[in-house]
Chain A
Amino acid sequence: MSPNDLDNILTDREAPASMSEHQDVNYWRHANEFNGAVTIDDEKHREFDADDPENLDHAGRRNFMKVMGASMMLAGLTSCARQPEEKIVPYVKPPEHSVPGRFQYYASAVSLSGYAMGVVATSYEGRPTKIEGLKEHPASLGSTDATAQASILDLYSPDRQESISHAGNLATWNQLVADIARAVGEIDTVDGAGLTVLTETTTSPTVQGLMAQLQQQFPEMKWREHDPMGNNNARMGALQAFGRITATKIDFLKAKIILSLDANFLNEGPAHVRYARDFAVTRSAEANADAPDYVAREHFAHDEMSRLYVAECSPTLTGAAADHLMGLRYGHVEALARVVASRVGVANVTADPEKVAALDGAWIDALVDDLTHHKGHAVVVAGEAQPPVVHALAHAINGILGAVESGLVTYIDSPEADATDQQGSLRRLVDDLNNEQVKLLVILGGNPVYNAPGSIDMAAALNKVPLRLHLTPEYNETSELCHWVVPESHALEAWGDLRAYDGTHSIIQPLIRPLYSSRTASQILSLVLGEDATTTDYDLVRRRFSGLYGAESEAKWKKALSQGFVEGTTFAPVSVSYRGSIPAETAAVPTEGLELIFRMDPTIGDGRHASNGWLQELPKPLTNLTWDNALHIHPTTAMKYELEQEDVVILKVGEHEVRAPVMLMFGHPQGVATLHLGYGRQVAGYIAKDRGFNAYTLRDESSPWCINEGVTLKKTSSTYLLARTEEHNNIEKSLQTQAQKAEDRHLIRSGTLSHYKEEPDFAQRLGHHAPERENTLYNPDEKDYAGLSWGMTIDLNRCNGCSVCTIACQAENNIPIVGKAEVAKGREMHWIRVDRYYKGDMYNDTVESAHQPVPCMQCENAPCEPVCPVGGTMHSKEGLNDMIYNRCVGTRYCANNCPYKVRRFNFFHYQIREGQDAPQLKMMRNPNVTVRSRGVMEKCTYCVQRINRARIDAKVAAAKIGSDVTAIPDGTLVTACQAACPSQAIDFGNINDASSRVSLRKQNTRDYGLLADIGTRPRTTYLAKLSNPSPALAGADAEAHTAEH
Chain B
Amino acid sequence: MSAETKNIPPALQVVAPLAQPGHNYESISRAISDVILEKPMPKPWYATIAIGLSLLGILGASSAYLFWEGLGLWGINNPVGWGFAIVNLVWWIGIGHAGTLISAILLLFNQDWRTAINRFAEAMTLFAVMCAGIFPLLHVGRPWAIFFIFPLPNTMSLWPQFRSPLLWDVFAISTYFTVSLLFWYTGLIPDLATLRDRSKKGIGRMIYGIFALGWRGSARHWYRYEMAYLLLGGMSAPLVVSVHTIVSFDFAVSVIPGWHTTIFPPYFVAGAIYSGFAMVLTIMIPVRIWFGMTDFITTRHMDNMAKVMLATGLVVFYGYCCEAFYAWYSGSDYERFMMLNRATGPYAWAYVCLLLCNAVSPQFLWFKWVRTNPLPLFLLTIVVNIGMWLERYVIVVTSLTRDYLPSAWGEYAGTIFDWAAYVGSIGLFLFMLSLFVKFLPMITIFELRVQQHQIDNGEIR
Quick check: A909 and B70 within 8 Å, CB to CB? yes
Closest Cβ neighbor of A747 among chain B residues: B405
User: Would B405 and A7 count as touching, CB distance under 8 A?
Assistant: no
Interface residues of B in 61-83 (CB under 8 A from A): 67-72, 75-82
A869 touches which of B70, B76, B161, B411 (Cβ 8 Å): B161
- Please report which residues of chain A, range 832-854, place their CB below 8 angstroms from some CB of chain B when the two chains form the complex: 833, 835-837, 852, 854
Does B408 contact A901, Cβ atoms closer than 8 Å? yes
Among residues of A, the one whose C-beta sits closest to the C-beta of B401 is A727
Chain A's closest residue to B170 (CB) is A869
Q: Known: A68-B144, A908-B69. Contact between A866 and B164, CB under 8 A?
A: yes
Do the beta carbons of A934 and B404 come within 8 Å of each other? no
Query: Is the C-beta of A734 less than 8 angstroms from some C-beta in chain B?
Result: yes
* Known contacts A77-B152, A869-B166; A893/B81 CB under 8 A: yes
Whether A738 contacts B409 in the complex (CB less than 8 A), given A77-B153, A866-B164, A890-B71, comes out as: yes
User: Chain A contacts of B75 at CB under 8 A?
Assistant: 825
**A907 touching B70 by the CB < 8 A rule?**
yes
Say if the beta carbon of B11 comes within 8 Å of chain A. no
Q: B407 contacts the other chain (Cβ, under 8 Å)?
A: yes
Of B197-205, B248-256, B268-276, B433-441, the one touching chain A: B248-256
Residues of B within 8 A of A937 (CB): 141
Shortest distance between the CB of B40 and any CB in chain A (Å): 39
Within 8 A of A (CB), among B102-145: 139-145
A892 engages B67 (CB within 8 Å): no
Contact B407 A726 (CB under 8 A): yes
Let me know if B256 and A68 touch, CB within 8 A: no
Contacting residues, chain A, for B144 (C-beta < 8 A):
3, 6-7, 67-68, 70-72
Known contacts A901-B78, A904-B78, A870 near B410 by CB under 8 Å: no
Chain A residues, CB < 8 A from B141:
888-892, 905-906, 934-937
Alpha-carbon distance A67/B143, docked complex (angstroms): 11
Scan residues 131-174 of chain B and give those whose CB is less than 8 A from a CB of chain A: 139-150, 152-156, 158-161, 163-167, 170
- The answer to whether A64 and B82 have CB atoms under 8 Å apart is no
Are B145 and A871 in touch, CB under 8 angstroms?
no
Per the bound structure, the CA–CA distance linking A892 and B408 in Å amounts to 16
The answer to whether B164 touches A869 (Cβ under 8 A) is yes
Q: Which residues of A contact B400 (CB under 8 A)?
A: 896
Interface string of A366-393 (1 = CB under 8 A from B): 0000000000000000000000000000
Contact (Cβ within 8 A) A934 B408: no
With A2-B156, A905-B141, A934-B141: A897-B256 Cβ-Cβ less than 8 Å: yes
Contact across chains for A899 and B406 when beta carbons are under 8 A apart: no
Contact between chains at B164 and A900 (CB < 8 Å): no
* B226 close to A (CB within 8 Å): no
Name A887-938 residues within 8 Å CB distance of B. Answer: 887-893, 895-897, 899-901, 903-909, 933-937
Contacts of B78 in A (CB 8 A): 826-828, 895, 901, 903-905
Residues in B with CB closer than 8 Å to A874 are 161
Distance of A81 from chain B, by nearest CB (Å): 12
Q: Which one, B156, B164, B403, B411, contacts A893 given CB within 8 A?
A: B164
Say if the beta carbon of A822 comes within 8 Å of chain B.
Answer: yes
> How far is the CB of A199 from the nearest CB of chain B, in Å?
43
Residues of A within 8 A of B406 (CB): 737-739, 741-742, 747, 837
Judging by beta carbons under 8 Å apart, are A935 and B161 in contact?
no
State A761–B422 Cα separation when bound (angstroms): 54
Residue of B nearest to A863 (CB): B255
User: A76: CB under 8 A from chain B?
Assistant: yes
Tell me whether B4 is interfacial, beta carbon within 8 Å. Answer: no
B376 at the interface (CB under 8 A from A): no
In the complex, A75 Cα to B147 Cα: how many Å?
7
Across the interface, which residues of B come within 8 angstroms of A867, CB to CB?
Answer: 163-166, 253-254
Q: Which residues of A contact B70 (CB under 8 A)?
A: 906-909, 934-935
Query: Does B414 reach chain A (CB closer than 8 Å)?
Result: no
Contact status of A741 and B337, CB under 8 A, knowing A2-B154, A77-B154, A935-B140:
yes
A903 neighbours in B (Cβ, 8 Å): 78
Would you call A895 and B81 a contact (CB within 8 A)? Answer: yes
Q: 1/0 per position for A862-879, CB-CB distance to B under 8 A?
A: 010011111100100000
Whether B146 and A1014, one on each chain, are in contact in the complex, defined by CB atoms closer than 8 angstroms, is no
Residue among A835, A871, A889, A1010 with most chain B CB within 10 A = A889
Bound-state CA distance A863–B165 (Å) is 13
Asked if A871 meets B150 with Cβ closer than 8 Å, knowing A3-B144, A738-B407, A738-B409, the reply is no
Q: Are B142 and A890 within 8 A (Cβ)?
A: yes
Closest CB of chain A to B67's CB: distance in Å?
Answer: 7
Closest to B254 in A: A897
Tally of chain B residues near chain A (CB < 8 A): 61
Q: How far is the CB of A894 from chain B (nearest CB, A)?
A: 8
State how many angstroms separate the Cβ of A1038 from the closest Cβ of chain B: 25
Asked whether any CB of chain B lies closer than 8 Å to the CB of A728, the reply is yes
In this complex, which of A72, A901, A908 has the most chain B Cβ atoms within 10 angstroms of its Cβ? A901
- The answer to whether A826 and B164 touch across the interface, beta carbons within 8 angstroms, is no
Tell me how far the C-beta of A11 lies from the nearest C-beta in chain B, rounded to whole angstroms.
17
CB distance from A856 to the nearest CB of B (A): 13
The answer to the question of A745 belonging to the interface, with a C-beta cut-off of 8 Å to chain B, is yes
Which residues of chain A are within 8 angstroms of B152 by Cβ–Cβ distance? 75-77
A101 to B376 Cα, complex, angstroms: 75
In the complex, A729 has a CB within 8 A of chain B: yes
Asked whether any CB of chain B lies closer than 8 Å to the CB of A744, the reply is: yes
Q: How far is the CB of A558 from chain B (nearest CB, A)?
A: 50
A817 at the interface (CB under 8 A from B): no
Give the distance to chain A from B421, nearest Cβ to Cβ, in Å.
16
Q: B81 — nearest CB in chain A belongs to which residue?
A: A892
Do residues B140 and A889 form an inter-chain contact, with CB atoms below 8 A?
yes
Residues of A within 8 A of B69 (CB): 908
Any chain B CB within 8 A of the CB of A313? no
> Across the interface, do B346 and A729 meet the contact criterion of CB distance under 8 Å?
yes
B202 to chain A, nearest CB (A): 35
Report the minimal beta-carbon distance from B163 to chain A, rounded to whole angstroms.
Answer: 4
Known: A7-B144, A888-B142. A729 touches B79 (CB 8 A): no
Interface centre among B146, B170, B256, B407 (most CB of A within 10 A): B407
Give the residue name and chain of the B residue nearest to A79 (CB): B144
Contacts of A737 in B (CB 8 A): 406
Q: Is A653 an interface residue (CB 8 A)?
A: no
A15 nearest CB across to chain B (Å): 21
Contacts of B80 in A (CB 8 A): 826
Query: How far, in angstroms, from A734 to B341 measured CA to CA in the complex?
Result: 11
Is B405 a contact of A869 with CB atoms below 8 Å?
no
Instruction: Give Cα A828–Cα B170 distance, bound, in whole angstroms.
Output: 31
Check if A64 sits within 8 Å of B68, measured CB to CB: yes
User: Which residues of chain A are near B72, meaning CB under 8 Å?
Assistant: 822, 827, 907-908
Write the nearest CB–CB distance from B175 to chain A, whole angstroms: 16
Of A4, A870, A900, A905, which contacts B160 at CB under 8 A?
A870
By a CB distance below 8 angstroms, the chain B residues around A739 are 406
Q: What residue of chain A has the Cβ atom nearest to residue B415's Cβ?
A: A825
A525 within 8 Å of B by Cβ? no
Q: Shortest Cβ distance from B14 into chain A, in angstroms?
A: 53
Residues of B within 8 A of A833 (CB): 407
Is A465 an interface residue when CB atoms closer than 8 A count as contact? no
Residue of A nearest to B158 (CB): A871
Contacts of B155 in A (CB 8 A): 2
A905 to B161, CA, bound (A): 20
Q: Which of A65, A891, A901 contacts B79 (CB 8 A)?
A: A901
Question: How far apart are the CA atoms of A364 and B339 in the complex, in Å?
Answer: 47
- Residues on A with beta carbons closer than 8 Å to the beta carbon of B159: 871
Pairwise interchain contact A905-B81, C-beta atoms closer than 8 A: yes
Residue of A nearest to B136 (CB): A891
The answer on a CB contact under 8 Å between A892 and B82 is: yes
B409 contacts which chain A residues (CB < 8 A)?
726-727, 734, 738
A361 smallest CB distance to B (angstroms): 36
Question: Assuming A888-B141, A908-B70, A935-B140, is B256 touching A896 (CB within 8 A)?
Answer: yes
* Closest 5 A/B residue pairs (Cβ): A890-B141, A76-B147, A935-B141, A892-B81, A901-B408
Q: Can you report 11 A-B residue pairs in the complex whose CB atoms are below 8 A from each other? A: A4-B145, A7-B144, A726-B409, A737-B406, A835-B407, A887-B158, A889-B142, A891-B166, A892-B141, A896-B254, A935-B71
